[in-house]
Amino acid sequence: MSDATPAAPERNDFIRQIVREDLASGKHGAIQTRFPPEPNGYLHIGHAKAICLDFGIAQEFGGRCNLRFDDTNPAREDPEYVRAIQDDVRWLGFEWSELRHASDYFEVYYLACEKLIAQGDAFVCDLSAEDVRAYRGSLTEAGRESPWRNRSVEENLDLFRRMRAGEFPDGARTLRAKIDMASGNINLRDPALYRIKHTPHQNTGNAWCIYPMYDMAHALGDAIEGITHSLCTLEFEDHRPLYDWCVDKVDLAGHPELMAPLVARGFPNTAAKPRQIEFSRLNLNYLVMSKRKLLAMVNDGLVDGWDDPRMPTLQGIRRRGATPAALRLFTDRIGISKQNSLIDYSVLEGCIREDLDAHAPRRLAVIDPLRLVLTNLPDDHAETLDFPNHPKDASMGQRSVPFSRLLWIEREDFAEVPPKGFKRLVPGGEVRLRGVGIIRCEEVIREGERIVELRATLDPDTRPGGSAVDRKVKGTIHWVCARRAIAAEIRLYDRLFTVPDPDVDADGKTYRDFINPDSRRVVQGYVEPAAAEVEPETRFQFERSGYFAADRYDHAPARPVFNRVVTLRDTWSA
């Protein structure tokens, strides 16, 4: 199935307007963006918005977009996350211009900090982390200067070089910017630039025992790569003054000697001054998107891993069966703005349905099977019927569906005591079998209290080509041929949480108390042969049941496994 979507109209959010104006004014000859994830966990649905924006801007304006891993904290990073992130970006339909790492630039960051020390803009501080917090002050109280803030340039350079040489234990010293301890922006109260961490790095091994802090590494990484528009979510708005301080004080573009270690390794010197622009992050109800909480759910066995189809991770969403086209449609639909808002989960589900309704072939499947015998057909009756693969798209062709006197139907399509408005099968009642004809229920067979079989007769005149083919009955039900059906494991997934805001800890409860016990049910069903004989990640509409996908890892034609991607219609709005 193609993941292509029709050409969209020109997008015109405030960021694209800035880019158009910058190009028109000649400020930039070409656009350079980057997607800068930290490899300390799996990407989630919120990152899809950033990916589509960063790569989308570059594509739309003929520019370039790097994938840069901001890998500055080796204690929390793992090559597993690196591989998954690359897989996610490609799955969404994007390819990076260059693959970069903040760790590629460690030597440049180090030289930049020596320059800051020499300028009197940074100092080595001996305060503990606890003391730093105490000295920082509050939103209403100015901070206090570190007792070591006025060390000489020579002493600071000596201590910083000894930090790099590994002379001091973790936490003994930090390199801090010298900005303003009375600033109303707490981010400017002499923030840390480097800390000691004797931890091997997943990309550089044991080459370093000091590591740059994220704010500095992110800013200088953008400057190194010549990023024209550094797109960040709104929580970084208060960090922008520090971002600009780092870029301006180091001035990589004006000091090519700082770039020499990279140039010697074959990197181009593209240093320039980037501009940070903030936009609202994606907030969805019925989800938890804190990496810390997602990791806890994985480690505590509350889910079956990062790619559990109930997880909001891109790996989980993909495994459940959503298409990249649906996620791109979703990010287009919610748009880009500076206003934080909460998006209802039904918007995402609606985009998935819209995409699958247009592109997913139809198949017959029974999830909760009840045996049906057509008693007026011979025991050896066997035929094949032609069914369209898609009722609205003849180009998808047709398939042959086996039919016999022994069928499976959905148990919920029969009721001995029907509720008001029930239009399916009842004792003595008639219903149309999809694509076959009208049947009448003649007998109900039980084992104890449980109904195990229905016996019915098929009106041959209502079959295609018969004299009464147009005879009307109120209901139509689907079926599969019991003699040719393939047994399938069907995993019925639903929302992971029962409340719209599980992330708010109140009344002694946490998100763990709101996990939906019905978020996954595994049942044994039956599918027509054409549904089983497919590759993993093939998506279908199981008629009258929902949209399903062959599991990415567990499905095989001999042992099919299908995940419910989404129901046919919104069942949560009520």
The rounded Cα 65 to chain-centroid distance in angstroms is 20
255 is in an annotated binding site: no
197 is in an annotated binding site: no
Nearest CA among 431, 428, 444, 436 for reference residue 401: 436
Task: Supply angle C-alpha 373, 375, 377, rounded to 5.
Answer: 105
Report how far residue 235's alpha carbon sits from residue 239's, in angstroms, rounded to the nearest whole number.
8
101 is in an annotated binding site: no
243 is in an annotated binding site: no
Report how far residue 565's alpha carbon sits from residue 547's, in angstroms, rounded to the nearest whole number.
5
48 is in an annotated binding site: yes
Report how far residue 55's alpha carbon sits from residue 231's, in angstroms, rounded to the nearest whole number.
11
Helix (H) or strand (E) holding 329: helix 324-334
181 is in an annotated binding site: no
201 is in an annotated binding site: no
User: Tokens 């008629």 — which residue?
Assistant: 543
Q: What is the dihedral of CA 220, 222, 225, 227, to 10 degrees?
A: -150
70 is in an annotated binding site: yes
194 is in an annotated binding site: no
84 is in an annotated binding site: no
At 106, is the secondary structure helix, strand, or coil?
A: helix
Looking at the DSSP bridge assignments, the partners of residue 540 are: 548
420 is in an annotated binding site: no
Q: What is the dihedral of CA 49, 105, 243, 136, to 10 degrees?
A: 110
Catalytic annotation, residues: 38, 281, 291
User: Using an 8 Å Cβ cutoff, are 342 and 283 in contact?
Assistant: yes
493 is in an annotated binding site: no
49 is in an annotated binding site: yes
399 is in an annotated binding site: no
Report how far residue 304's alpha carbon sits from residue 559's, in angstroms, rounded to the nearest whole number.
20
Q: Which residues are annotated as a binding site for L-glutamine?
A: 70, 214
Q: Residues annotated in the binding site, as ranges?
A: 38-40, 44-50, 70, 214, 233, 281-282, 289-291
Could you tell me which residues are annotated as the binding site for ATP?
A: 38-40, 44-50, 233, 281-282, 289-291
